[in-house]
Amino acid sequence: MPDSNWICGSEPPDRQGFFETEFNTGQTEVTMYSILGWMPPVHRGYVVRWRLLEPAVEQAEIERYLYYRREGGRGAIHEPRPANGGSDQNL
């Protein structure tokens, strides 16, 4: 997605879901936004900016999240995930 789609980190998304986020540490990853705020919490750094994922990528993240919840949390769901999708999208 083009850089023009980035939204300032001080403006929260208008819905829950998965988004590409850039932290003040310079790290960019796929992050979940929920009623509790950005997940994982601030220990990763502060969100500088964020943008929507393409629908297919977000759906894959949702399925991955539900898989780990269903499997009792085996594996770390909140491991850093590169914004480019990483190599484990075929779960």
Q: Tell me the per-residue pLDDT of 21-67, one tens digit each, with 9 for 90 and over.
A: 999 999 999 999 999 998 876 678 899 999 999 999 999 999 999 99
Residues 1 and 10: their CA atoms lie apart, in Å, by 20
Tokens of 78: 């909140």
Could you tell me the two tokens for 66?
A: 């539900």
3-state SS class at 78: coil
- List the chain domain ranges: 13-70
Nearest to 20 by CA among 7, 11, 29: 29
Confidence of residue 79 (pLDDT cuts 50, 70, 90): low
Task: Supply angle C-alpha 74, 78, 84, rounded to 5.
Answer: 115
| Predicted model pTM | 0.73
